[in-house]
Amino acid sequence: MTATTGVRYPFASSLPAPGGMLEVAPGVHWVRMPLPFALDHINLWVIEDGDGWTIVDTGYGVEATQELWTRLLAGPMGDRPVKRIVVTHYHPDHVGCAAWLAGRTGAPVWMTTSEFLSAHAARDDAAGFDRATGIDFFGRNGLDTSTIPEKVRLGNAYRRGVPELPRTYRRMMHGDELVIGGHAWEVITVFGHAPEHAALHCQSLGLLISGDQVLPRITSNVGVWGNQPDANPLALFLDSLARFEPCDEGIRVLPSHDRVFEGLHPRLAQLRAHHAERLIALLAACDRPVSAFEILPVLFKRALDEHQMGFAMGEAIAHLHYLLAEGRVTREESGGVRRFVRA
């Protein structure tokens, strides 16, 4: 959490009703779907597109979401055709209903290639997305892996929210322009939270669909995972935030969680300050060789449940790898565990 001075909420007292939508700019509608987590909702966007609609993100792939979509399609969306389904990134709350919606509406799914392939890999336990690779990696970073419960060790949590995936897609790349309802929306790809996360910027409407990259109050998870054990995603995350800097000061941001907000540039500054503070705190704690696991209490004051532990480990390693790349810590490995110490 960080301070949010300079961030304003133009819809502070209203939220879209379940199965309903709220217009946040001409022809651009906010939809909110439930999530079965501590973070209990996701925002999706439905954009008027000629005689039909473009949908941006699809919700967690469970019946409750599908029922709300059914109400929405027949109700506020007036059974008009869905022309395109855009998915910002591969996480289950974004892509979970994409195949179901595509099957129901006949609309093509638009994604970046890294996100499309990561979704399939995560669902199929391929390309190092399997638990064994992830658990080995956390063990190498100091976690006592015998504490990981069997259901985590054996289950595929991704599949719970993604019962099926589209087998084909339309590729989006950085700089592409999608024309939706007569307005140009520029694809801006950003990194660190997901491999090739797509954000959408519409200058003429003054809107930025920021996905999970920029949220108004919480910070996005930035983690290192088992299939890229030496990655530096925090550098990618912070560097790619610069791609939002050219947006106009008055831009309205449509984030995947929490509320629509204004004050993008102050928020970008807060995110940078937040990570800089955490890096300083971690560096101070590296006065003796420490593993990512040993350093978790510096970053996370609260007790972590098994779901949060994985994200916390990934995040701690991401900050340590950032310091490593900057030459501010060195890394040693003994007894199969990596430890970091101030350079």
Which two three-digit tokens encode residue 262?
A: 């204004």
Q: Which residue lies nearer to Zn ion by CB, 48 or 57?
A: 57
The site that binds Zn ion (CB under 5 A) totals a number of residues, namely 2
Residue 108's nearest CA partner among 172, 48, 52, 169 is 169
| CA end-to-end span of the chain | 29
**What's the rounded Cα separation, in Å, for the pair 291 and 79?**
55
Q: Which residue lies nearer to Zn ion by CB, 208 or 323?
A: 208
252 binds Zn ion (CB under 5 A): no
User: Which residue in the set 29, 41, 84, 91 belongs to the binding site for Zn ion (CB under 5 A)?
Assistant: 91
Q: Which residue lies nearer to Zn ion by CB, 160 or 328?
A: 160
Q: Which parts of 279-318 interact with Zn ion (CB under 5 A)? A: none
* Interface mask toward Zn ion for 206-225; x: CB under 5 A: ------x-------------
Q: Which residue lies nearer to Zn ion by CB, 30 or 90?
A: 90
Q: Is 141 exposed, middle or buried (0-12, 13-18, 19+ CB in 10 A)?
A: buried
Q: Which residue lies nearer to Zn ion by CB, 19 or 195?
A: 195
CB of 92 to Zn ion, least distance (A): 9
Q: Which residue lies nearer to Zn ion by CB, 212 or 294?
A: 212
CB of 193 to Zn ion, least distance (A): 6
**What's the rounded Cα separation, in Å, for the pair 59 and 67?**
11
Q: For residues 207 and 213, is the Cβ–Cβ distance under 8 A? A: no
Which segment (54-62, 90-98, 287-295, 325-333) binds Zn ion by CB under 5 A?
A: 90-98
Q: Which parts of 324-343 interact with Zn ion (CB under 5 A)? A: none
Listed as own residue / partner, the contacts of 66-70 with beta carbons closer than 8 Å and 24 or more positions apart are 66/97, 66/100, 68/18, 68/19, 68/33, 68/34, 69/97, 69/100, 69/101, 69/104
Which segment (54-62, 87-95, 166-174, 239-247) binds Zn ion by CB under 5 A?
A: 87-95
Handedness of CA 302, 304, 308, 312 (dihedral sign): positive
Question: Which residues are near Zn ion by CB under 5 A?
Answer: 91, 212
